[in-house]
Every structure is written in structure tokens, then in C-alpha cells.
Amino acid sequence: MNQAERDRLCVIRAANENRISRRQAAERLGVTTRQVRRLVLAFRKHGDAVAIHGLKGADGNRGARRESCIRELVTLLYREHYSDYGPTLLSETLSERHQLDVPRQTVRRWLEKSGAREAKRARRKRHPRRDPRPRRGELVQLDTSKHEWFEGRGGSGYAYLICGIDDATSEVHGRFYEGDTSLANMDAIRRWVERNGRPGAFYVDCARHFAGQLDEDGGDTRDDTQVGRMLGELEIEPILAYSPQAKGRVERTFGTHQDRLVKKLRERGIATIEAANEYLECDYWAEHNRKFARRPADPVDAHRELTLEQRRRLREISAVRFTRTLGAGDIVKLDGRALLVSLPTTRGPRRGVKLEVLLELSGTMRLRYEGRDLAYRDVTERAPDLAARRHLAARKSERHARLVTELVRRGVRPSGRFEGRSIDSLSVLELQALRPPTKPTEAQRRGARVRA
């Protein structure tokens, strides 16, 4: 009961007790004297409830029918098409695709009331969150999420989403890769640097391509890894996180992507990494950052531009680099392949020269010597295919069986250096040595006379 209803009740009570006349009560309430008499009779019958309008809190006929129809439509769409959507994403999807502007809390209430969705208890915060960095570009958290992003479409299985999230603004950028490798993470870092500049630090986990192996003292060897070398050449500090909670901002954003991005890819029928990366760059990241990014406390951007030398060598810096020794005949052995290298004219022996190998994510490989790229070609001898090997083995087995049958029929037994062995255990050459000499044919005798 609000204040106006309390004042109305006081006037009706005074008229009932004859402290004021019916005419005075009608003037104060703005009604007729006949209506005052009705209110007094109702007060004697129902009490204080007479001061409250009978339709207060009741749904209007037109609004109730419309809301009921919308509620049934939303519930039907959720059951048939969006059963794995959360209330927030469902509210956005209804607005974008069905022109139904329903607040997310209303969607949540309708679904829980209809039994289509179970109510979830709010999670208790167990770890205090640190304050974000004040400036954009001071710290970028980098991590990988292995997930069935394409839900098996096109025969695809797991894919790896490598993302970087700015600590101050929650701005996210990333790409899909076929594996969580050094090359993939170096490519993600290179793209962030090309887009925004060099951040102050990258916050990463203790994977081997970041932390390397423990040294003798038990410390990390992050500078010895390919990623550590790249960050060192770009003058970016690597910071290791020793628990998932330490880099919770990027961990939580993966939960958002596994909910939203999976459904966006499903709606568009995307089933390949190439198509998914194109969608990320063209639409998804812009929409995501527009909804979830925030303003930093300090508007000054802490990203640093690449130097001219770094910009010129960025492709080389972001490639995996290792050395190989030149062998005899200017041959380099690499992953089971033999590469013939064209070396420039050099003094002294060429064998044993150390060559630098640069391997890029695209599969391009470069050989370098004293800062110069070298031409090479693959001279690996190709082994016969599996069908040819099986055919040769079958022919050898048939020949062995024929020789064993022939020797057994003639009664030949292993003797000499083959004594004590069964005839089946002898090879084809050994069986041929046991065969008795046969009489020469007329053609063989004629050929022998001619040679003599």
C-alpha cells in the first residue's frame, strides 16, 4: 500500500466514524457522495483492502495475451533450436534472428518457470582477483584451448584456438591452428605484434615451448626455447604462470568462446580451420570486443612500435631456427630427407660446414650460410612402394617353395656347412647350392663349343 492509498483509507475511515460528512469525504476523494456510501459499506465488509484498487497487480487482457504468446514462442525456440544456449546468448540471438527483444533475465525466468532449463546456483568466488593493469599493452595473457570447435563437421576432430587477451581492456585476438606447437604460438605472437605493436610482457603457462626443460638447478630455461628466443629479440618479457588461476582472465574467456563461438560456427556451417580463421578476422573478434572489452584506467597505450630492424627481420625472427652439418657431396640430412645444397665458392673443405635452417608455419624451409639464403633440391632416393615390395616377397616365397619341393622329391638332404638344419629353414641361395648339377642341353653344349 502506497501513501496515496493510506490517505484514501484515512478519509474512508473518518467517514465511517462520522467524524466528517459524506459530502466532505466526497470532496477530498474526488468522487460522488453515492460512491462514498459504497466505499463505507465496503470498508465495513472487507476492511482496509477497500483502499486498494481491485485491478492493482493484475495483468491487462491485451498485454497478458501478448506476453503469453511470446513466452510460448521463446520456450518452443529454445527446446527445438537453442537447447544448449545460455539466457544471455539466447536473448541476443532472439533479437538478431527473430526480432524479439526480450531481456536476458526475463528469458532466464521464463525458461526456469516452464521447466525447460534448470536454475543454477551462483558460484562462490574462491580466489581474490587482482586488479588489471592500468594501461593497454602492459600485459597480454596468451593461452591455447583444445576443443571440438567444429563438432565433427567435415570429419574434423580437435582444433586449437590460440588467443591473446589484453589485461587492461580484455580485448581478444587469436586464430585456429592444427596443433599447440612452437610455430603456432610464434605465429600468434607475430600477428599480435603486427596488429598492435610490442606489449610489455606476455603471460604464458609452463608448456615446454615456453618454459623449456628444467636445468640442473631446477630453474626454467625459457630463454633457450624458440618462443623465448623470439620474445628476447623483440624485447618482450615472458612471464610464467604456475597455475591456471594465475591467468584466469584468459581461462575464463575460453569458456565464453566454447559457448558462443561453437554456436556461431554451427550456424554458418563452418567446418575447416581456414574458413573459421576468416570468420574470426572479419566478424567475430570485432563483435566480441565491442560487447566485452572495457576502457583502461589509463588511456595511454603501452604498446611499442617495431624498430626498422625488427620489422625487416620479423619473418626470420618468428621462424623456428636450428643448425645442420653439411655432409659429403654437399648433402644435408633433415627429417629423413637428403638435400643437395648449392654452396657459394669457399676456400678450404666444405664438409662439416654449419648451416642454419629456418622453418616457417606455412611449411617453407630456408637454408642459410653466413647470412645468405642457399638454393637446394631434394635428392632422396624413393623406395619402392608397398605393393611392389609385397609382389617381390610373394615371388621369392613361391620360388623358395618350388626349390624345397624339388629337393625333397630328389631326396637331397642338407650336408656340409648346412648339416643339422632343416631344409625349410634354408634360404633360396642356400637351396640353390644344394641342387645337384643337371646335364647341359644341346643348346648349352653348342654355346660352349662356340665360346671355346
pLDDT in tens, 9-32: 888 888 888 888 888 888 888 889
Mean pLDDT taken over the chain: 82
| pTM above threshold 0.75 | no
Are 286 and 185 in the same domain? yes
Q: Is residue 122 part of a domain?
A: no
96-111 pLDDT, tens digit per residue, is 888 888 888 888 888 8
Are 157 and 93 in the same domain? no
Q: Check residue 383 and give its pLDDT.
A: 44
Are 302 and 157 in the same domain? yes
Q: Is residue 120 part of a domain?
A: no
196-235 pLDDT, tens digit per residue, is 999 999 999 888 888 876 555 555 555 578 898 999 999 9
pLDDT at position 392 over 70: no
- Comparison of pLDDT for 431 and 34, the residue scoring more: 34
Q: Check residue 4 and give its pLDDT.
A: 84
Residue 251 CA, chain-centre distance (Å), reads 12
Q: Quote the CA–CA distance of 276 and 198 in Å, as a whole number.
A: 26
Are 167 and 205 in the same domain? yes
Q: Is residue 119 part of a domain?
A: no
Q: What nine digits make up the cell of 178?
A: 592444427
Q: Quote the CA–CA distance of 222 and 19 in Å, as a whole number.
A: 91
pLDDT at position 141 over 90: yes
Domain boundary among 307, 329, 346: 307
Q: Is residue 362 part of a domain?
A: yes
* Structural domain count of the chain: 5
Q: Is residue 225 part of a domain?
A: no
402-435 pLDDT, tens digit per residue, is 777 777 777 766 666 666 677 667 776 777 776 7
Are 300 and 397 in the same domain? no
Are 303 and 413 in the same domain? no
Cα torsion angle, 392, 394, 400, 403, sign: negative
Q: Is residue 131 part of a domain?
A: no
pLDDT tier at 301 (50, 70, 90 boundaries)?
very high
Are 96 and 199 in the same domain? no
Are 425 and 295 in the same domain? no
Task: Give the CATH number for residue 203.
Answer: 3.30.420.10
- 289: burial class by Cβ within 10 Å (0-12, 13-18, 19+)? middle
Are 189 and 209 in the same domain? yes
pLDDT at position 286 over 80: yes
Q: Which domain holds residue 330?
A: 319-378
Is the separation of the CB atoms in 248 and 127 below 8 Å? yes
pLDDT tier at 193 (50, 70, 90 boundaries)?
very high
312-322 pLDDT, tens digit per residue, is 989 888 888 88
The candidate with the shortest Cα–Cα distance to 255, out of 172, 179, 138, 324, is 172
325-334 pLDDT, tens digit per residue, is 888 778 888 8
Are 340 and 403 in the same domain? no
Is the separation of the CB atoms in 203 and 167 below 8 Å? yes
pLDDT at position 344 over 80: no
Q: Is residue 37 part of a domain?
A: yes
pLDDT at position 123 over 70: no
